[in-house]
Structures are given as C-alpha cells and as structure tokens.
Amino acid sequence: MTTLERIIQICKQRGFIFNSAEIYGGLKGFYDFGHLGVLLKNNIKNLWLKDVVFSGENIFLVESALIGPRKIYEASGHLENFYDLLVECKNCHNRFRADHLLKGEYGEVKIKDNRALCPLCEGELTEQRTFNLMFKTNVGPVEELSSEAYLRPETAQGIFYNFKNVLTTMRAKLPFGIAQIGKSFRNEITPRNFIFRMREFEQMELEFFTYPEEANKWFDYWAEKRFNFYLKLGFKDKNIRQRVYSKEELAHYSSATIDIEYNFPWGFDELEGIANRTDYDLKSHNKFSESELFYFDEKRKEKIIPYVIEPSVGIERLLLAVLLEFYDEDKIEGETRKIFRFPPSLAPFKVAVFPLLNNRPELVSKARKVYSLVKKNFQAFYDENGSIGRRYRRQDEIGTPFCLTIDFQTLEDETITIRNRDTTKQERIKITNINSRIRKLINKFR
C-alpha cells in the first residue's frame, strides 16, 4: 500500500474524509468531511486568516454568493477563456484532458500515424475540443439567457464586483486587500488524486489592490510571505518550492504568476498560486456593468484603477499536503505505529482524556471532571473504550499531541499523567496546573 493509499484509508476509517453520497455510488470529484476533517479544515482557515488577514492592516473580509449571473463571467473572461481541451477514446469512451494526456499522466501514450492513441486501450482518439469548466444553471422558473447563471469557478469575482462596497464602507486607502474563503466549482474533466483536483472545493483568496507602479513590489512581498507560511507551519524545505510561469502558461488575466509547489507523491505540483492580475478585472467589470470601480486618490486628485496581486490556495489541496507532510510511521513495542505529527495549531484535537479503567466509577468521574476542565480551553476528546494502549494509538493516528490519563495515583494526590504523542514520554502534573501546562507545551512545540 502506498503512503497516499494509507492516508486515504485512515481518513475514511477515522472520520476525516468520506466519498460524497457513497450509498448512492458516489459522485467523482466530490467529498464530504467528518468531524476531524471539519476541525482540521477550520484550523487551516484560521491559520490562513491569521497570516493573510489579521497580521497586517487594511485587509477586509467578504462572503459573496456562490451563484452569479452570466454577465459576471462574460466580464471576467471565464465564459470565453476558462476551458480545457478534451479528447475522447472512440473505443472505450474514456475522456482525457489533452495537456495531461500528452504529459503521460494517464499512462504511456503510443503514437500511430502521427496521432496519439488511448493510454488505456490504444483505441483511436477524437479530435480535441474545448470544454468550459463552469457549472451552468438557471435562476427562477424560466430557462432563458437572462436567467442563466453560473456556480463560481473562483471566489475572486465576488471580491471584484464588491470592490466599491468594501472601499466605501471600510474607508479603505491604497494599498488594501479584500479576502474571501469559500466554495468554488469546476467541472474538471478528470478529477483525481483524492482531494487534489475536485469539482467542488474551497478556496482562500486575497485580492490585494495596489498603485500600479507598486504592483511588482507587492507581488514579491506576497510570494515570499506565502512561501514562509508553509515553512512556519513545519513543511520541510525539500518539499516546497516556487515556480515562475512562462508567458505561454499565464491565465488570461495575469501578467505574472508564481506557483508554490508541494512535493506530492506524483511529483512537485501546484499548491498555491500568486498572480499579478493587473487592472484586468476591475476594468473589465467597469466595461460590462457600466459601473465605475475605481479608487480616487486624494493627494493626486485622480481616479486610479488599482493593480491586483492575488495569492490563492485551495483548502482541500492544502489539507492533502498537510496530511502527506505530517504522516509518519514508527515502531513501538514491536508494532508499527501510524501517526500524524501535526503541529498543535493544526491538530483536530489538542488533548484526549482517559480514565485508566472504565469499570472503576471513581476513575471515570474524575476523568470526566478533568475533561470538562480542559475542553473549555482546548479542542478535547474523551475516551474510555478499550485498553489504554489502544486509546493512545487511536489518538496518535489522528494526530492528537497530548493525552491525559487519570489513574489510581490521581485519587491520592490529584495528579495525572500527560503523554507526548511524538516521544510517547509521560510526565505527572497537578490537575490544578493542567490548562497552563498544556498551553505551555503547545507554545513550545517546534
């Protein structure tokens, strides 16, 4: 079993991630998240908010609608430009993204009479055709052009069309940013690699508005800041790198893009993108909506259409990188231990609380008291089922950094043991010091 397969198995067994609608056969590219997955995603969001929104000044949040009228995507260029090239096998009817097919991502591609053959059955492939990645719907009971609407393919457009709302209500001054966390939808031709490429996913995006002449400076600033975010999180140097796009690779709105790539099991691949979107989007929305999205500079006494620097990352893709980065196996008492060495800031539970035995009411009631003491301060989990060794293993497997055990000595001297996930070492501490001790241990982690 590969590491990725092992991780997928743990995610399902332990309640991080499930295939969506599995009892109906599932739907490719869609996933559901269990308690641990939701907690882990929330931790990722909070760390991003801290790094991108709250650590600086003048960065404001919005939450825009998921479905928007056709006009938005005419203006943004997504209707015209947001497509992949698709080929289909005339024999087995599998469909492939032409660029991925040629890179060998579906397997070895044989060439006959100058034409690529199906990598799965060597059948003849159709000519390539364009395939728009947006999900289309209609709003209201009548299906006509004026009711045509789209599920957003990026959160960014909701930021651009709200530019003036935020600018005026927050009395923002350049440079300033508008950030958004939320769902995006893309009808990917071949969703793959677990949660790496999905059809419904969440993005965390910042649109940072600057004076045009300062855009390059801010592009470098955000590229560096976002790269350092991963190092601070505990990603190993060797597993992340930056890659500068060539002119041919740039999206229709971008004048420069840098990807932060992670070393996924299939090789380095995009984790986050940082793009210079210039004034493309605001200008385009001005044209299509006949509104005036601009910044009036009091000092210069002139209207400015700001340039935009955009760091954008998918939460699930980052979640996959986190799972891969912190998964480990070691040997304990002759057994292989599966473990997520999450830093406490990411761990779904910070502490677990156990009575040594579940058939001794005095231990159980003390353990429940300790649990209610710690759960006010930390995400905590109470468990009294199975042997103490099994309970430790279960917490190791979901990445809980600290386990508290209430034993017979507790009844005598009001102390409990605190076990460190990574070293498996235990120390005894007084129940009265429990919250401050956990706080200290979390702070000195790494």
For the bound state, the minimum distance from the C-beta of residue 316 to ligand GAP, rounded and expressed in Å, comes to 5
DSSP state of 249: G
Should residue 269 be labelled a site residue for ligand GAP when binding is judged by CB under 6 A? Answer: no
Query: Could you write out the DSSP letters of every residue in 53-120?
Result: IISSSSEEE----SEEEHHHHHHHSHHHH-EEEEEEBTTT--EEEHHHHHTTTTS---EETTEEB-TT
State the Cα torsion 275-279-281-283 to the nearest 10°.
Answer: -170
What count of Cα atoms within 13 Å lies in the side-chain half-sphere of residue 302? 5
Q: What's the rounded Cα separation, in Å, for the pair 302 and 419?
A: 63
CB of 186 to ligand GAP, least distance (A): 5
Residues 200-239 that bind ligand GAP (CB under 6 A): 201, 203, 205
Mark 117-156 with x for binding to ligand GAP (rule: CB under 6 A) and - for no binding: -------------------------------------x-x
Q: Which stretch binds ligand GAP (CB under 6 A): 45-53, 240-248, 306-314, 435-443?
A: 306-314
Among 188, 269, 297, 397, binds ligand GAP (CB under 6 A): 188
Closest CA to 60 of 182, 161, 208, 183: 208
- From the CB of 61, what's the least distance to ligand GAP, in Å? 16
Report the residue number, 157 or 405, with the smaller CB distance to ligand GAP. 157
Of 11-19, 37-45, 196-204, 261-269, the segment contacting ligand GAP by CB under 6 A is: 196-204
273 lines the binding site for ligand GAP (CB under 6 A): yes
Q: How far is the CB of 197 from ligand GAP (least distance, A)?
A: 4
Which C-beta is closer to ligand GAP: that of 192 or that of 393? Answer: 192
Residues 428, 412: contact at Cβ < 8 Å?
no
Stretch that binds ligand GAP, among 105-113, 309-317, 330-338, 379-387 (CB under 6 A): 309-317
Q: Is 285 in the site for ligand GAP (CB under 6 A)?
A: no
- C-alpha 184/C-alpha 186 separation (Å) is 7
Binding part of the chain for ligand GAP, among 90-98, 195-203, 217-225, 367-375 by CB under 6 A, reads: 195-203
Residue of 179, 144, 145, 219 whose CA lies nearest to 64: 179
CB 114 within 8 A of CB 129: no
> In the complex, which residue's CB is closest to ligand GAP?
314
Strands 402-406, 351-355: pairing kind = parallel
- Among the listed residues 41, 78, 152, 186, the single contact to ligand GAP using CB under 6 A: 186
| H helix or E strand, kind and range, residue 308 | strand 307-314
Q: What residue has token string 């508005």?
A: 209
Closer of 91 and 255 to ligand GAP (Cβ): 255
* List of residues contacting ligand GAP (CB under 6 A): 154, 156, 186, 188, 197-198, 201, 203, 205, 270-273, 310, 312-314, 316-317
